[in-house]
Structure 1
Amino acid sequence: MTEPMPEIARLGIGKVLDEMRVEFPDLTITKIRYLESEGLLEPERTSSGYRKFSFADVERLRFILRQQRDAFWPLSHIREVLDDMDNGRVPSAGRWSPSVALAADDLPDAATFSEKPSQVRLTRADLLEAAGIDGDVLDELEAHGVIERRPNQTYYDGDDLAVANLAGEFAQLGVEPRHLRPFRAAATREVSLIRQVLDPRAGDDAQRVTADLAALSVRLHTLLVRHGLQGR
């Protein structure tokens, strides 16, 4: 628990929501209460039962929400990290930190495609929790090939988690999983082109050229979409 603070420094749950909505516009009181019920938050209670959040409580909430949004951590891992922090241990981000390498212009570069395959291993329940989507959405993503596990693969990996998270954001804007099929089709065509170019190559040179071509294709796609939206 945090050190006692003057009452004026403590916020009710409504004020906390107002404070956090600048960075997390979709946050709700229900979500804050849920995180408390999961043991991730422990705000003080008044004699009347009202929650009072200290500065440390608010920062703890901010940390939880950022790890869910930016690092795709499930609550189970966030709980472990918070437990380490509460007990003075150095937490390890471990396997829950997918990242994308960006060039100077903030577009993905070759390093993004040179990374080793994701070591994240998630069950279906882990994926649903971390991405904040329900089972029907995941079923649709798999039915339309947006999330596609390899033959005999029983787990979901970090890329699946990132895709599911993006699908959840699309859904908030009214874009359903079936509408994402063109993205899968475009990616499949780009991969086919890269493989055609690579046919004569082998070894380390193939890996380097693969990363370069993949980065160029994503950068070109981004710029073409930007150009199209500008109405030129």
Structure 2
Amino acid sequence: MTRLPARADAAGVQLDETHEPWPRGISRQATMRISDVLAALGPEFGGISHSKLRFLEEQGLIHPVRTPAGYRQYSPADVERLRFVLTEQRDSYLPLKVIKERLAAMDAGEPAPGPAPRLAGGTAVAPDGSRRVWTTTTVAEATGVDPAFVHALIHAGLLKPGPGDRLDAGAPDVVRLAAQLAEHGIEPRHLRTLRASADRHVALVDQLVAPRRRQQTPSAQAQAATLASEVGELLARLHSAWLRRGVEELT
């Protein structure tokens, strides 16, 4: 194999050009427009947007080709890198700096990590790729519980219906977990304080990201979303650490 001159990637890591940048074996011909990328990733990542793509480009995570007219074009390999970045953000809540380091290592020849475990609250997608509409009835059917139990969760404030009495994409996860707790005698009313605590944490994150969100620029909006995800995960981990420690002390 012909050895090409060494170069540095976006993270400053020297790459051995005998290794094809990750992902390997996927076309790097840039023929896809932004709209094509959004169509490809939208069913799996509901929050993907033009501003998110531009922000990830600014951070050096993707490098679309610019046409003579200045339009961005992406390759199938670019889409796979985007899928990796978005999955790591969604499932592992990794900071972009860590994701960038992982990509650099994979570009240098290290094996890609296995799929991260899916956290609760992901966007549900129907088998045909369309967004699933969640209602009391569809959530009950998907989780195998009585619709009355879903109504009890709503009455307790654990689920908050939106316009048209629709529930959000995280509703099935809440119902499944609440149903498992109910098997141990923990009723929906017992979980009100837990929901109230989560709402206070959300308010804390909101205070943190509000200055960026008020800037109204696509880059600032994307930064706000990324910061909110990372800080939210840190708060969740801190709460889990305290809970686990408290439970250990009981035994």
TM-score (norm 2): 0.45
TM-score (norm 1): 0.48
